[in-house]
Amino acid sequence: MSDQFTTAVNPAPARGLALQMTVAALGRFIINTSRRFVYPYAPALSRGLGVPLTSITALIALNQFTGVLSPLFGPLSDRWGYRVMMLTGLGILAAGMLACGLLPFYGVILVALFLAGLGKSMFDPALQAYIGERVPYQRRGMVIGLIELSWAGASLIGIPMAGLLIEQLGWRAPFFVLGGLGLLAMATLGLVIPTERHHPHHVASSMGFRQAWRQLCQERAALGMLGFGFFFGIANDSLFVVYGAWLESNFALGLVALGMATTVIGAAELMGETLTATIADRLGLKRAVIIGAILSIFSYVLMPVIAQTLPLALAGLFIIFITFEFSIVTAFSLVTEVLPGARATMTSFFVAVGGLGRMVGALMGGAIWLWGGMPATGFIAAVLSVVALAFFVWGLRRWQA
């Protein structure tokens, strides 16, 4: 690793850092809920706005696209400071949510949800880079894993709460609540995280998008992580987009039962993040990613074989998503140390290529399912995961934190 990426950091006192991480995790929970609750309640939003359901799915697609823009903000985070970008992300999210509630018109919601997606693209890389600067590498997996619980929490807590608000107060209520909570999180985070004295020797402090990309291309470890994130994302989403159709066709499940299957996936995400927090550092982050990826490969291959009954099918989905979540969250912990002088830049590119992979997987998944059913889906997901693991091993074979 080049010396120009080495940064001397004085970690914050444990108590102060714990408070900062707690507030940041709550802020991220609000962001994730804002991003995810539109999916299951798209019919309610379409009725409230008086537009076709396809118009709401277009909103969702645009919201997903914002993840691809993440590399535009990574160099800005390294240049301006992580605190500034986290507060900006929460502010943009809150403005978008409140605009949706106050001005219930399709065009306004289109722009507002786009802004909400941008808020997440700003907040997440800045937060992970902030953790990378203040948490020793030996405990990075624990802290990143705990922060990532906010993702599963959005599925298990945030989305059901949004459903209750819609049922009791109307479809606009979640936007008001999430916007208000976003402002509260922004104010609290501004109080608990001190103003940064950014290091002038950071390479990223003078980098734009093109310079950042060239710098990443010169680092073998960075390229290995980007290849891993891209192909691992394709593998998972190629199955994710068709698991509902598979359960419905094979086991004649209705909407309520499919909702239960989604709960199984949320529980698997929670368990995967918990495993990262508890055992990834003990195993070593590199070793943990390799173990998780190998288990993920076997789970894809065995899924069509074992899933002969509904309980076994749900168990198979649980294993697939727990191994995927463990691998990808642990990989995020590792990404924060690949380029220590440009942490947000590296993290933002990793987020972007993972998002591109998921988009490709979503496009491929339906065609693969129609061609060969779950056996073909599982086999191709396994092959893509092998490619992802090969990139990881190639890139980080000689890398040391």
Higher-confidence residue: 399 or 371? 371
What single-letter amino acid sits at 113?
L
In angstroms, the CA 64 to CA 147 distance is 21
In angstroms, the CA 176 to CA 157 distance is 17
Q: What pLDDT digit, counting tens, does each position of 88-113 carry?
A: 999 999 999 999 889 888 888 888 88
* 326 located within any domain: yes
Same domain, 184 and 240: no
Query: Domain end: 168, 185, 202, which one?
Result: 202
Find the mean pLDDT for residues 120-149: 87
Same domain, 13 and 58: yes
In angstroms, the CA 179 to CA 367 distance is 38
Residue from 382, 378, 10, 385 nearest 194 by CA: 10
Q: What pLDDT digit, counting tens, does each position of 213-238 carry?
A: 677 778 899 999 999 999 999 999 88
Same domain, 288 and 305: yes
Q: Domain of 18? A: 3-202
What single-letter amino acid sits at 256?
V
**pTM for the structure as a whole:** 0.80
pLDDT band at residue 391 using 50, 70 and 90 as cut-offs = very high
Same domain, 169 and 309: no
**Buried b or exposed e, range 45-73, using 16+ CB within 10 angstroms:** bbebbeeeeebbeebbeebeebbbbbbbb
Q: Could you count the other beta carbons within 10 Å of the beta carbon of residue 116?
A: 30
Spell out the residues 6+ positions from residue 390 whose beta carbon is closer than 8 angstroms to its own. none
* 236 located within any domain: yes
Torsion-angle region of 197 (φ positive above 0: left; ψ -120 to 50: alpha; else: beta)? beta
In angstroms, the CA 261 to CA 264 distance is 5
Same domain, 174 and 248: no
Statement: residue 388 has pLDDT above 90: yes
pLDDT at residue 180, rounded to an integer? 95
The three-state secondary structure class of 11 is coil
320 neighbors 265 (Cβ within 8 angstroms): no
Alpha carbons within 13 angstroms on the beta-carbon side of residue 37 total 31
Same domain, 50 and 162: yes
pLDDT at residue 271, rounded to an integer? 94
* 401 located within any domain: no
* 256 located within any domain: yes
Same domain, 194 and 153: yes
pLDDT band at residue 204 using 50, 70 and 90 as cut-offs = very low
In angstroms, the CA 150 to CA 29 distance is 5
* 106 located within any domain: yes
What single-letter amino acid sits at 110?
L
pLDDT band at residue 125 using 50, 70 and 90 as cut-offs = confident
Residue from 72, 293, 291, 27 nearest 185 by CA: 27
Q: Can you tell me which residue has the tokens 């987009």?
A: 241
pLDDT band at residue 140 using 50, 70 and 90 as cut-offs = confident
Q: What is the DSSP string of 84-132?
A: HHHHHHHHHHHHHHHHHHHS--HHHHHHHHHHHHHHHHHHHHHHHHHHH
Same domain, 282 and 375: yes
pLDDT band at residue 151 using 50, 70 and 90 as cut-offs = confident
Q: What is the DSSP string of 202-253?
A: -GGGG--HHHHHHHHHT-HHHHHHHHHHHHHHHHHHHHHTTHHHHHHHHH--
pLDDT at residue 82, rounded to an integer? 86
**Rounded CA Rg of the chain:** 20
Find the mean pLDDT for residues 39-67: 74
Same domain, 223 and 305: yes
Same domain, 215 and 162: no
Integer distance in angstroms from the first to the last C-alpha of the chain?
9
Q: What pLDDT digit, counting tens, does each position of 270-329 carry?
A: 999 999 999 999 999 999 999 999 999 999 999 888 778 888 888 998 999 999 999 999
Statement: residue 11 has pLDDT above 80: no
Residue from 230, 235, 336, 229 nearest 281 by CA: 336
Same domain, 224 and 299: yes
Same domain, 233 and 350: yes
Query: Domain end: 202, 226, 244, which one?
Result: 202
Query: Domain end: 152, 178, 202, which one?
Result: 202
Q: What is the CATH number of the domain that holds 253?
A: 1.20.1250.20
Which tokens go with 6? 């080495």
Domain tally, the chain = 2
226 neighbors 349 (Cβ within 8 angstroms): yes
Find the mean pLDDT for residues 10-23: 75
* 220 located within any domain: yes
Statement: residue 116 has pLDDT above 60: yes
Higher-confidence residue: 393 or 41? 393
Higher-confidence residue: 68 or 133? 133
State the average pLDDT for the chain: 83
